[in-house]
Amino acid sequence: MRLTLLLITTLLMASVLTLSGSGKSYPDRCDLSITLMDLDHNKPITGIIRMERSNGEPIALESLLSRGLGVENKPELSRWSVIDRSAVVRVPAEIITLEALKGLETERFRKQIDLRGQSNARIEIPLRHFYRTAEQGLRSANTHLHVMKLDRPTTDRYLRDVPKADGLDLVFLSYLERYKEDRTYISNRYHNDDLRALSDSELLYGNGEEHRHNFKDYGEGYGHVMLLNINALIQPVSIGPGIMKRGTDGIPLQRGIDTARKDGATIVWCHNDYGMEDLPNWITGRLDAQNIFDGSINSSYKDTFYRYLQSGLKVPFSTGTDWFIYDFSRVYVPCKDPLTVEKWLHALAAGQSYITNGPFLEFSIGNHSIGDTIDLSRSDTLEIKGRGLGRIDFQKLELVHNGKVIHHITTQPHEGHHRAEFRIRIPIHEPGWFALRIPPFHGNDKAAEIRVPKNEFGYTLFGHTSPIYVTFKGKSIFDHAIAQGLLQEMIQKQSIIADRALFSDDQAKNRVLRVYDQAIATLHQQIKSR
């Protein structure tokens, strides 16, 4: 049942505005009671709202939690506020425009309301879901989150309310050490008992450690890797004088990765391909997934991950936001109720994921889903289905085969959102991989960047599935030219480390360089044998 806008007014004697020449008095402020409602289920829900005056000036909602808390210089984000089902806000008693939404699943509510002459009013905002991931058996997570420079009560409120307003199911709170600066990292003070206390039937919290190394002044170094669902912190959490202002560069990330894996942790590389150790650890089978765009770091799929896939690696895609939940960024995997950290991570490591900060994606080949491997003994023609739905017009849906777009379809408006869908049959006569995505933007063309679709927070839209793989006559894809390029890249990085890193002795130096020796030998053997 559709809910109708309800405005209930009463008169207050305080705070009035006298109109010139009229002799009449009107309130200059209105206490507006707001309730967000799930239109289909007719129940209150958590979401975000924003308001503006008739001249476009944003109205600050002082009593609500700012969606942009902790994020600097992002007005598109800060103009939104979190509302936990219902709240009362003091706003100008004039004509205002109100907007509301929840996460990625609802259409955007927008309405102009006239509060002139009213000191109290009430509005129920009906939010229409155009997609429900729970009904598709999907659960979302932010795999990388730090919070800093807030007090404990404010952080508790932030962690309780923001993920629910965004429609997240699971959040991994990440531990990080950095010289002196980590004194302000309030997220470091949350232990497993605290995470259990924050968790409820709507939202689950898990733990993580950002294990990292940087060269001087936060230079690239070995990289950053997320250790999820750990039993104990891997020490040292951060390695080397470049980040801790003490010690040496004599400990590879691989040592911490191996320790965490023995304890059952899931290992996710951070920040696209940032860092020199990601490729060696992929080649030697130590990583479970790759975080893309965590920390809003742009990258080209073609220049990074597609090369890995073309070299025969299976790379599940993941993502997070890093510092605060500044975007709608999340990763979806299928996960049956009841949701647990372990079940969700298992699905991620199995490659059943897709990442997005806007559009929902559905992708299958025959009866195979994301993360599956199709084993063909002969040439065959397979049916491929792709579907995208989003509140913001994402413009195009693309089918990628072995790194190249082989089919696309443009979006069409549908009620208050946008859709794109295709069903095609493609002959397959070689090994490879397929994935579904929306067109990525990368580069430094600021004029072009202005034209690409962005979400409500002003971030460029992204969406990409992990692959569906194809083996042909028992062989997986292996591009010798690309593999040779990756081999040379590792040799070059090993040389850079040998020249640049600070080691206490040759034993420490060799401990780090062996990470590359092993990966180089493994890839070299693959090039020779395939």
The radius of gyration computed from the CA coordinates of the chain, to the nearest angstrom, equals 26
Cβ atoms 249, 197 nearer than 8 A: no
Measure Cα distances from 98 to 29, 104, 393 in Å.
Answer: 16, 18, 21
Q: Where are the domains of the chain?
A: 16-127, 130-299+309-357, 358-478, 484-522
Closest CA to 455 of 351, 376, 359: 359
Return the exposure string of 160-174: e unless at least 16 CB atoms fall within 10 Å of the residue's CB, then b. bbbbbbbbbbbbbbb
Alpha-carbon dihedral sign for residues 131, 469, 314, 300: negative
Domain 16-127, what fold? Immunoglobulin-like (2.60.40)
CATH classification (class only), 130-299+309-357: alpha beta
Closest CA to 28 of 9, 11, 15: 15
CA–CA distance, 84 with 62 (Å, rounded to integer): 14
Q: HSE of 358 in the Cβ direction (CA atoms, 13 Å)? A: 28
| Residue carrying the six token digits 């992990």 | 466
Integer Cα distance of 267 and 288 in angstroms: 5
- Going from the C-alpha of 139 to that of each of 20, 160, 203, 413, 469, the distances in angstroms are 57, 18, 10, 26, 23
pTM for the whole thing?
0.92
Question: Which residue, among 344, 315, 340, has the nearest Cα to 331 in the 3D structure?
Answer: 344
**Residue 17, both tokens:** 């505005």
Judge if 16-127 and 358-478 fold alike in CATH terms: yes
440 token code pair = 């990525």
- Antiparallel, parallel or unpaired: β 468-472 and 373-376: parallel
DSSP one-letter code for 129: B
pLDDT (tens, 9 = 90+) of the chain, 530 residues, equals 343 444 433 333 333 333 333 445 557 999 999 999 999 999 999 999 999 999 999 999 999 999 999 998 899 999 999 999 999 999 999 999 999 999 999 999 999 999 999 999 999 999 999 999 999 999 999 999 999 999 999 999 999 999 999 999 999 999 999 998 899 999 999 999 999 999 999 999 999 999 999 998 767 899 999 999 999 999 999 999 999 999 999 999 999 999 999 999 999 999 988 899 999 999 999 999 999 988 766 667 887 899 999 999 999 999 999 999 999 999 999 999 999 999 999 999 999 999 999 999 999 999 999 999 999 999 999 999 999 999 999 999 999 999 999 999 999 999 999 999 999 999 999 999 999 999 987 666 656 666 789 999 999 999 999 999 999 999 999 999 999 999 999 999 999 999 999 999 999 999 999 999 999 999 999 999 98
Residue count (the chain): 530
Give the 3-state secondary structure of residue 235. Answer: coil
CATH 2.60.40.10 is right for the domain spanning 358-478: yes
